[in-house]
Chain A
Amino acid sequence: AQSVTQPDIHITVSEGASLELRCNYSYGATPYLFWYVQSPGQGLQLLLKYFSGDTLVQGIKGFEAEFKRSQSSFNLRKPSVHWSDAAEYFCAVGLPASKIIFGSGTRLSIRP
């Protein structure tokens, strides 16, 4: 069955430090992959997406993600985090007929 796994429930990093959030998917065909961010009390906002082509994709707010087929991973990275990046981050996979399923999320806290 198709699934998305985000192994880290909560991560704390210092402001200015680099960030990597992990995402693994289970899907037999070429996946369509997304990262979303959710601030408290808000809906989800798309950070970036991968459909095909270059496996390193750039998104908004300085985020990037790399698709690695051999590892079934789509990890999110940012070279230097800001206090405003504190939020919940969701990885998602798009399936045929446009069904989208989400991982359980990773909560990011920023240490001053």
Chain B
Amino acid sequence: DARVTQTPRHKVTEMGQEVTMRCQPILGHNTVFWYRQTMMQGLELLAYFRNRAPLDDSGMPKDRFSAEMPDATLATLKIQPSEPRDSAVYFCASGLTQGRPTEAFFGQGTRLTVV
């Protein structure tokens, strides 16, 4: 059963610390999304990649957030330094884009708490 895998599922960290969230997309998918979900803002698209290249990261605070795909099986989202307002659930999703928008398959999310 193919699925998107995110680690860790939960993370509690102190303000100022670096946080790294990892995502393994579904094998064969060429598009990877990072979303942030909060009660106030709902689901926000932070960044997404096609064939490992960033297509749009305009939703991401550039001064502290970075997203990369070191290889086709791993996507990372880093926050440095973390702040309490970064507390949220971060979702990774992947899809197969073939000439038209793809549906996104979501992971279980990483619940981040910054204290």
* Contact (Cβ within 8 A) A105 B103: no
Contact pattern, A 38-50, Cβ under 8 Å of B = 1, otherwise 0: 0000111110010
User: Which residues 73-112 of A have a CB within 8 angstroms of B?
Assistant: 90, 94-105
- If A43-B107, A45-B106, A105-B42 touch, does A98 touch B91 (CB 8 Å cutoff)? no
Task: Say if the beta carbon of B61 comes within 8 Å of chain A.
Answer: no
Stretch from B69-77, B78-86, B94-102 contacting the other chain: B94-102
> A32 in the interface, Cβ–Cβ < 8 Å?
yes
Is A102 touching B42 in the complex (CB atoms < 8 A)?
Answer: yes
Q: Which residues of B contact A98 (CB under 8 A)?
A: 31, 48, 50, 55, 95, 97, 101-102
* Contact of A43 with B106 at beta-carbon distance under 8 Å, contacts A98-B95, A98-B101, A102-B43 already known: yes
Choice from B48, B56, B103, B108 contacting A43 with Cβ under 8 Å: B108
How far does the alpha carbon of A42 sit from the alpha carbon of B108 in the complex, in Å?
Answer: 5
Which residue of chain B has its CB nearest to the CB of A51?
A: B100
Which residues of the partner chain B approach A97 to less than 8 Å between Cβ atoms?
50, 55-56
Query: Can you report 27 residue pairs joining A to B where beta carbons are below 8 Å apart?
Result: A32-B101, A43-B4, A43-B93, A43-B107, A43-B109, A44-B91, A44-B93, A44-B106, A45-B106, A90-B43, A94-B101, A94-B102, A96-B101, A97-B56, A98-B31, A98-B48, A98-B50, A98-B97, A98-B101, A98-B102, A99-B45, A99-B48, A99-B55, A100-B101, A100-B104, A102-B42, A105-B42
